[in-house]
Amino acid sequence: RQSKRALPRTAPPPSSSPSPDLPDSAGKMGGGNAQKSAMKRLRNAEKLKNAAGGASQLKENAKAQNIKCHVCFSLFLCTATEAKLKEHSDNKHPAKDFYECFPHLKQ
């Protein structure tokens, strides 16, 4: 008669429950290209939402245009140099003085 030996115990298999941030179908087996594409879209959407607020800079750029020509009401970025503004007044309004276009620069 053979002696009964205790078999070594093994660890239980890892749980197959999906992680909480993935949809229900992500933890299931299978998944063709459609599932892979859906998961990639989901991950990319999360990245875009987290990266830089996901907003464009158009609103910020519009706020930065705070130099205005008082003749034609053209807007210029706050970083515009006086040379660029002078170029505008010379090209667009040759009959006008530079300080008529940009009176706030007259100091």
Alpha-carbon distance values, 60 to 65, 68, 77 (Å) = 9, 17, 11
Region 7-35: mean pLDDT is 63
The amino acid present at 52, given as its one-letter code, is A
Residue 55 predicted with pLDDT over 90: no
Q: Which two tokens stand for residue 100?
A: 């008529």
Question: Using 50, 70 and 90 to split pLDDT, how confident is the model at 11?
Answer: low
Region 61-76: mean pLDDT is 88
Report pTM: 0.45
